[in-house]
Amino acid sequence: MGHCSCFGLWGWRETKAKNHDDKYAKKKSKSQLSSVCSKVNSEPTLPSSAPIVEPNAENEGKTFTYRELATATNNFGAESFLGQGGFGRVFKGQIKNSQDVAVKQLDLTGLQGDREFLVEVLMLSLLRHPNLVKLFGYCAEGEQRLLVYEYMPLGSLEDHLHDLTPDQEPLDWNTRMMIAAGAAKGLEHLHNEANPPVIFRDFKSSNILLDDGFRPKLSDFGLAKFGPTGDKSHISTRIMGTRGYCAPDYANTGKLTVKSDIFSFGVVLLELITGQKAVDSSRGHENQYLVTWAISKYKDCKNIKEIADPLLRGQFSESTLKKALEVAFLCVQRKSNCRPCISDVVLAMNYLTSHPYNPIESTNLMAKDPQMGDSPTGTKRILHKDLDRERAVAEAKMWGETWRERKQMQQCSADGVNR
């Protein structure tokens, strides 16, 4: 996969330590999906030699009867109703072992059908990661199509960003960056660990669910596709996705790559930073798309803090805000080969989450020296007291880059960003 050289601006190109908690045992199985792949990914079909992760006993989905799920959800009653999406209605239920679950019922008159149902069962049966929602089982009885997931008590990321109720507390900066970092790790598993790679194709804030610790998990794999293998650079498929999140190169050509997901991630990161919706006609025709609005706002505003979500009430580091915007803008570049790969995005987000905002320390430091708040060195002293000398020197070099190098980065963005 291509790598945009300008993404090395912060010196993130380092050996990435693997976390044993994020690794899972893999087994090769050529026959596991041979009968299913032609139905799910007929454009193109999976190569017969492609190694597939074989689900173990813990990860295998259970087949539920319709009666069991009706009982679990109080006959799909209004008191169990959680919400509705493209697939259909979602209900909270409790299965026999007192496990809370979310039951998603296919809307028989909706746009999605058996194919999307099959894709979701297939994908979530094969893929297992802390940042992917867990599938407990499914029901395919008669015309009924239902999916049974782990219950995510805090709902979707969208619920915590837009149209908040008066009694709802907005997400703070540190939580927003933690959510973005976790979602990026979920995508990294799909792109780099799954074999063949999986393109999510519908990455958006409503498809990022949150557990009771605001830990994110990707959900709704109905539009997912197996990515290109061998020497193929893309797969050609009908254009699907959500307006405002869909990469322009995919929307214009139907050529799908993992970089399409990177664009969508950039849009979600902009949502987290700005609090704005991916598409909002109230911003005017020219700025109805968040990407266009954010770029225009970034160029025009005299104070970068103006682009941040007002609900943050200024509780963030300005230098970290700038870095987060850089990541987002690199992800939403119009030219797909200028977008970073997911591994670089994960490194970037790890960098941002390692610089948490501390309002107490920030206030104390600003009281001593008001000019330090906007200084990269000052921010480093606030957030990196325990850094060793080598990393401190590396950060000093990072911020000592010449303006020529920064101009090159800006030129790359100017050539490729979706205007």
Locate 129 and state its tokens: 């990661």
State the Rg of the chain over Cα: 22
In this predicted structure, the answer to whether residue 361 has a pLDDT above a threshold of 80 is no
pLDDT in tens, 131-141: 999 999 999 99
Q: Categorize the per-residue pLDDT at 289 as very low, low, confident or very high, splitting at 50, 70 and 90.
A: very high
What fold characterizes domain 61-150?
Answer: Phosphorylase Kinase; domain 1 (3.30.200)
At which residue do the structure tokens 């008590």 appear? 153
Distance between CA atoms of residues 117 and 39, nearest Å: 11
Q: Which of 51-55, 161-165, 166-170 has the lowest mean pLDDT?
A: 51-55
Distance between CA atoms of residues 78 and 338, nearest Å: 48
Locate 200 and state its tokens: 């999510």
Higher pLDDT, 257 or 412: 257
In this predicted structure, the answer to whether residue 412 has a pLDDT above a threshold of 50 is yes
pLDDT (0 to 100) of residue 410: 52
Higher pLDDT, 97 or 69: 69
Locate 74 and state its tokens: 């109080």
In this predicted structure, the answer to whether residue 275 has a pLDDT above a threshold of 50 is yes
Q: Categorize the per-residue pLDDT at 415 as very low, low, confident or very high, splitting at 50, 70 and 90.
A: low
Rounded-to-10 torsion of CA 167, 94, 61, 157 = 0
Distance between CA atoms of residues 164 and 224, nearest Å: 30
pLDDT (0 to 100) of residue 122: 82
pLDDT (0 to 100) of residue 230: 75
Q: Categorize the per-residue pLDDT at 236 as very low, low, confident or very high, splitting at 50, 70 and 90.
A: confident
Reported pTM: 0.75
pLDDT (0 to 100) of residue 208: 97
Please provide the average confidence, as pLDDT, over all residues in the chain: 78
pLDDT (0 to 100) of residue 399: 40
Nearest to 268 by CA among 343, 200, 355: 200
Higher pLDDT, 315 or 416: 315
Backbone φ and ψ of 81, nearest 5°: -70, 130
Highest mean pLDDT among 60-64, 107-111, 377-381: 60-64
- Decide if 5-19+156-357+388-416 and 61-150 have a common fold: no
Residues 6+ apart with CB under 8 A from 72: 93, 94, 95, 101, 103
The stretch 251-256 carries a mean pLDDT of: 92
The set of catalytic residues is 202
Do residues 180 and 246 touch, judged by C-beta distance below 8 A? no
The 10 Å CB-count burial string (b at 16+, else e) for 235-255 is: bebeebbbebbbbbbbeeeeb
pLDDT (0 to 100) of residue 355: 86
Q: Where are the domains of the chain?
A: 5-19+156-357+388-416, 61-150
Do residues 110 and 87 touch, judged by C-beta distance below 8 A? yes
Nearest to 104 by CA among 145, 164, 142: 145
Do residues 356 and 315 touch, judged by C-beta distance below 8 A? no
Distance between CA atoms of residues 316 and 305, nearest Å: 9
- How many residues comprise the chain? 419
pLDDT (0 to 100) of residue 364: 57
The stretch 37-62 carries a mean pLDDT of: 41
Locate 323 and state its tokens: 């870095």
Nearest to 93 by CA among 161, 148, 175, 167: 148
Q: Give the strand pairing for 81-84 and 88-94.
A: antiparallel
At which residue do the structure tokens 């997400």 appear? 171
Superfamily of domain 5-19+156-357+388-416: Transferase(Phosphotransferase) domain 1 (1.10.510.10)
Q: Which runs of consecutive H residues, i.e. helices, occur in 156-220?
A: 173-188
Distance between CA atoms of residues 374 and 370, nearest Å: 9
pLDDT (0 to 100) of residue 262: 98
Do residues 298 and 332 touch, judged by C-beta distance below 8 A? no
Q: Which of 11-15, 177-181, 218-222, 234-238 has the lowest mean pLDDT?
A: 11-15
In this predicted structure, the answer to whether residue 181 has a pLDDT above a threshold of 80 is yes
pLDDT in tens, 216-235: 999 988 889 998 877 787 88
Residues 6+ apart with CB under 8 A from 225: 41, 198, 199, 201, 235, 237, 256
Q: Which of 288-302, 312-326, 375-389 has the lowest mean pLDDT?
A: 375-389
For residue 62, what are the β-bridge partners? 137
- What percent of the chain stands above pLDDT 90? 55
33, HSE (Cβ side, Cα atoms, 13 Å): 28
**One-letter identity of residue 131:** N
Q: Categorize the per-residue pLDDT at 413 as very low, low, confident or very high, splitting at 50, 70 and 90.
A: low
- What percent of the chain stands above pLDDT 70? 70
Q: Categorize the per-residue pLDDT at 118 as very low, low, confident or very high, splitting at 50, 70 and 90.
A: confident
In this predicted structure, the answer to whether residue 55 has a pLDDT above a threshold of 90 is no
Nearest to 229 by CA among 202, 249, 258, 254: 258
Q: Categorize the per-residue pLDDT at 386 as very low, low, confident or very high, splitting at 50, 70 and 90.
A: very low
Q: Categorize the per-residue pLDDT at 85 as very low, low, confident or very high, splitting at 50, 70 and 90.
A: confident
Three-state DSSP at 169 gives coil
104 is in an annotated binding site: yes
